[in-house]
Structure 1
Amino acid sequence: MFPRLSYAQRLLALMFFVSFIMVFFNSTTVDLSSPSRRLPYMEQYLQNALRSVNTVQDAQENVDNITGRNGHQKGWDLTTRTPPINPHEFKVLINPSSLCQHKNLTYLVYVHTAPGNFKKRQTIRQTWGAKTLMLKYKMRIVFIMGVVEDSVTMQRVNSESDRYGDIVMEDFQDSYRNLTYKAIAGLKWISSYCTNVTYVIKSDDDILIDMHSLMETMSSKEVKKYGTSRLIMCNQWLKMKVIRDKKSKWYVPEEEFDKEYFPPYCSGSLFIMSIDVVFAMYDMSLYTKFFWVDDFYITGLLVEKLNLEHKRLNDNYMLNARAAVEKFDKDEKRELKFFHVHKLTDIFRMWKRLRSEKNNSCDNCFTWVPPR
């Protein structure tokens, strides 16, 4: 897969890299306004260089350990292959590498977000992603994003990261067509820095999770019988028609995907995986041609290649944002656990009611202080 470098070779490579950057800064005049440059973030990248230089190799070694690549196979179809056709070579600009350095973690939640979505991230931190709940359920949360050209937004993200320490940023352009890069960034980071959890939960930043009910579900007999390997649970889509309307945001030309319907895949709003699936997905993504529809790429193409079976949690989802609040108010039995909600004020109101019903404490969950 990737060449195994000796310690001396790694040290020499790192010394060469740092020397090159020092010469570059001392001898070159650079147009910082060019969107192709990453120099505003280079200082922080250099600070992370010692921690990040082995990211790809460490991730691959973790994949080997989980899948048994260097010994007995563990049910995965992961054999030695030719060089990757979809290498994920983006640089890590912000890296909370110590986030999961705790012995007794069970869950990691990674949230797809955009740099400008400050209020959405803050809402999550003050509701279902609050620190008190993270500690209670042996959980950590991290937000995955790319970069934008607006320097003010980037500076605010850096300040936010300094304050909360829960942001992962790579240097791909954060856009709708690059969501697959964001998804792989999450898989890669987990494979490098959060290998000690049992389950991984992927969420979007406009989702409200009834965290208390979710934890009850995770400890139920039904989920326990699934085991803690080769597991992916989600809202499964069947017979989703491929959009051929060129005016649509989801238009897919036939040369990109020639079938009339997508094979089964998960709603990307939220899905739950065992940690071995994360490792295997990251490995398989390196050998699976890039496709911009991230939900299908990650939970359809990769899942199919890994010969996994989706476990359906469809009855737990309310993904119609217009109806979510009404459905929530009428759901007396609390059978719904995941809600797509547009208004942040609705998320706070709904969470306050859930907290009241469950009689769970959550310090500072409802004092909204947006980042400056």
Structure 2
Amino acid sequence: MVEDCEKQSKGQSNSRCRSLRLYVIFTVFLVLVLCYYIIPNEMSASWAIAVGLLLPEKFATQTINASLNTVSVVTSAERWKPPEPYYVAYPYKYNLLLNEPEKCQREKPFLILMVPVSPSNTAARDAIRSTWGSERLVGDKTVSVLFLLGLPTSENRDTLQQNLLQESEKNHDLIQNDFWDSYYNLTIKTMVMLEWLSVYCQNASYAMKIDSDMFLNVKKLVEMLQSAPKQNYMTGLVARHAMVLRDPSSKWYLPKTVYKPPLYPPYALGLGYVFSLDLPEKLIKAAQRVKPVYIEDVFLGMCMTHLGIGVTDPPDGSLFNVFPVTYNRCRYSKLIATTTHSMNDQVEFWKDLQRPGPYC
């Protein structure tokens, strides 16, 4: 009887030991998994894949140093896929790959032009550099220009990234972050623009976000800003009482599950809007509280409304134009921004406006 009890006791003890060992092994394994996936990446790989955030496995990037001497970019052959529709991966920490941290301190601009453009669109960047982007001094006011990029999404992205590095070293006007450069990520591109301005360009008075396919009259823009408010100021082509498009075939479709109200708050159209440099920090804070939508100009309007700050109508309704304006020197000397039919029009209109002689 005693022997049976001792055997039973030993059996239970061995069983408890095995259970304890398994528990310890499982705990260690769990800690290792958490350390590997969550701590370095701030979110698990499976979740990143689910929301379309995960970069290709071997697309490792390092922040370029201040002198832009080196960059490390390795890509996999994995084909890029667009992010989940209507999901905006912001707030999220995106890293700078190409930077010009001393741009504003060195140039001391009154106005800085921020131009979002796709990594592959070198032609648009060169066209701007040779036209309105070359107007660096208007009266006694300095104007600076930077191009905003995300990661290339095409199959030849390795080559594209190396070309961008060379372009950056030559022109010193590229800002690149490690998010996929796509239409659905325009809100991300806008928010990292604001983050950059809040960190690196606090000494400027104004910034303008302007699309790369726009004609810009820099002189007229600076003239308008001479009498503009210094704080809580955003202007452009202001949309008021704009209806939310519920047609799934529309480029700007938003389902009620993403944005329920039938009308958007007032916002300045993304083709080109100007703002005082006290706003970036405020908008970044508001973006932590407002559910983001992929339509970037609408999202900024939502953030402005959250802050209780109104969007300002321009002094003249003809200054900003969403439809191409037929060219003549007199008309173009009085507008600030307009879409054009082609890049060639952008270049030729600007060149003609620079000719000596009266505009009207």
Do the structures match in fold with TM over 0.5? yes
State the number of aligned residues: 281
Question: Which structure has the higher relative contact order (CA within 8 Å, separation 6+)?
Answer: 1
Q: Does 1:37 align with 2:58?
A: yes
| Distance in 1 between residues matched to 2:256 and 2:142, nearest whole Å | 45
Percent of aligned pairs sharing the same letter: 24
1:203-240 superposed Cα distances (whole Å, 9 cap, x missing partner): 11111111122222222xxxx2x431111111101222
Who is 2:313 aligned against? 312
Secondary structure of the residue aligned to 1:253 is coil
The Cα shift of 1:347 comes to 1.0
Who is 2:36 aligned against? none
Who is 1:191 aligned against? 198
Q: Does 1:295 align with 2:297?
A: yes
Contact 2:236/2:320, CA 8 A, preserved across alignment: no
- The one-letter amino acid paired with 2:205 is T
Secondary structure of the residue aligned to 2:355 is helix
| Distance in 1 between residues matched to 2:332 and 2:245, nearest whole Å | 36
Candidates 47, 61, 71, aligned match of 2:65: 47
Who is 2:85 aligned against? none
Candidates 111, 120, 142, aligned match of 2:146: 142
The Cα shift of 1:336 comes to 2.0
The Cα shift of 1:290 comes to 2.1
Who is 1:90 aligned against? 94
TM-score (norm 1): 0.70
Contact 2:332/2:353, CA 8 A, preserved across alignment: no
Structure number with greater Rg is: 2
| Residue correspondence of structure 1 range 1-372 to structure 2 within 5 A | 35-39=56-60, 41-42=61-62, 45=63, 47=65, 86-102=90-106, 104-130=108-134, 132-133=136-137, 137-149=141-153, 150-219=157-226, 224=227, 226-298=228-300, 300-313=301-314, 314-321=317-324, 324=325, 326=326, 328-329=327-328, 331-332=330-331, 334-356=333-355
| Distance in 2 between residues matched to 1:136 and 1:227, nearest whole Å | 19
TM-score (norm 2): 0.72
| Distance in 2 between residues matched to 1:170 and 1:332, nearest whole Å | 38
Q: What is the root-mean-square deviation in Å for CA atoms of aligned residues?
A: 2.6
Contact 1:317/1:339, CA 8 A, preserved across alignment: yes
1:101-120 superposed Cα distances (whole Å, 9 cap, x missing partner): 13743111111111111111
Structure 2: gaps of 5 or more residues: 1-39, 41-54, 69-88
| Distance in 1 between residues matched to 2:332 and 2:171, nearest whole Å | 35
The Cα shift of 1:86 comes to 4.4
Change (3 A) 1:318 1:302: same
- The one-letter amino acid paired with 1:301 is M
- The one-letter amino acid paired with 1:336 is L
Instruction: Please identify, of 239-248 and 103-112, the stretch whose mean Cα deviation from structure 2 is larger.
Output: 103-112
Structure 1: gaps of 5 or more residues: 1-19, 21-33, 51-84, 361-372
Change (3 A) 1:127 1:240: same
- The one-letter amino acid paired with 2:352 is R
1:114-141 superposed Cα distances (whole Å, 9 cap, x missing partner): 1111111111111111164479631211
